[in-house]
A = this chain, B = another copy of it.
């Protein structure tokens, strides 16, 4: 028995049933249908059941567009990331989508491609789509937050994550990069290393600045004097990691450990050291940052700092939803700082005879 039977307007292809259709069929008003479906209090249980049954029968799907238009708020969250590749951002997005779905939201994803202009366009598109809130990890070329004023003036919650700017007055979820740098360096010190080099990232980016601060703190705490010759600026690529290691090994007094602010950079350094006949970790210990998938595959496996990607995504959405619920109350912007986890692997086991700290990579894709 096909659904389309006595309905005056048959469910032709391309169209789906609306509340009006259900109302007509049951001989009641649209209002009643709406109440029954949205579980309103002033609705008879008998009526409610009838409506729900019919809705199921006709396979009624609410039109969220109409609902959102009427209510002025959609069930969509906008996400802007520099790009969806590598290990970090996909994992964060994974966490976000999961948290959002649980709360009944869907996510629109945009890539800025590290371009402020693109970021602005994305922002406009999201506002235009009437999203309920926006999550952003800033592009590298974003130097101020003025284009996000639109968001505030619309009264929409905004949460930055990972890539932020120093602005106390904005909601943000970040990793404690300082602590990551500190933990990593302290670990190297505990391994008996005394001349610890640092391959730093672009210092105008907060994350790299903080990792470096952590490094310096650990040195200071251990009474080790920082040596400018051991702190090299790189762009975090594998190539520059190798180049930096070449430079370090050419020093009259080369380092006995290297803490790189990124895994690819660390890998480049490690391979270069091996190419020059040094043993890792015995001659020079190496630690990276980000806990990339390949850290359990390189020889030796690479010690690194896990960034809690997924937790970051979930935390960001949670924060956003809280602000959304508070709806204007509780103004003060909140900052959530996640604690990094140092994952010790063979590349840094300088003192002991390379213990084992194996970790399986995640399951096969596709």
Binding site for B on A (CB under 8 A): 13-16, 59, 61-66, 68-69, 74-76, 83-91, 93-94, 97-98, 101, 106-111, 124-130, 150, 153-155, 162-163, 207, 236-239, 262-265, 267, 290, 292-294, 297-299, 307, 360-366
Q: Is the CB of B68 within 8 A of A65?
A: yes
Chain B residues whose C-beta falls within 8 Å of the C-beta of A76 in the assembled complex: 108, 129
Contact of A264 among B127, B237, B361 (CB under 8 A): B361
A85-B362, A293-B293 known; 12 new pairs, CB 8 Å cut-off, are A64-B128, A65-B65, A76-B129, A83-B94, A89-B365, A106-B125, A109-B109, A264-B364, A267-B297, A290-B365, A294-B297, A297-B297
Contact with A130, one of B63, B84, B237, B262 (Cβ below 8 angstroms): B63
A267 to B263: give the CA distance in the assembly, Å.
20
With contacts A93-B109, A361-B238 taken as known, whether A14 is within 8 angstroms of B65 at the C-beta atoms is: no
Distance from A222 Cβ to chain B, minimum over Cβ atoms (Å): 28
| Bound-complex Cα distance A301 to B196 (A) | 30
Q: Is the CB of B129 within 8 A of A111?
A: no
CA distance A238 to B361 in the complex (A): 8
Quick check: A290 and B366 within 8 Å, CB to CB? yes
A130–B65 touching, CB < 8 Å: yes
- Alpha-carbon distance between A16 and B356 when the two chains are bound, in angstroms: 59
Given the complex of chains A and B, what is the CA–CA distance between A364 and B211 in angstroms? 15
> In whole angstroms, what is the CA distance A108 to B14 when docked?
21
Which 10 pairs, one residue from A and one from B, show the smallest C-beta to C-beta distance?
A86-B365, A14-B155, A90-B90, A88-B365, A236-B364, A88-B366, A262-B364, A264-B364, A294-B297, A84-B94
Q: In the complex the two chains form, is A111's CB within 8 Å of B97's CB?
A: yes
How near does chain B come to A363, taking the closest CB pair, in angstroms?
6
Task: Give A154 to B59 CA distance when docked, in angstroms.
Answer: 12
Contacts of A307 in B (CB 8 A): 366
B residues in contact with A265, CB < 8 Å: 364
For A127, the chain B residues whose CB sits under 8 A away are 16, 61
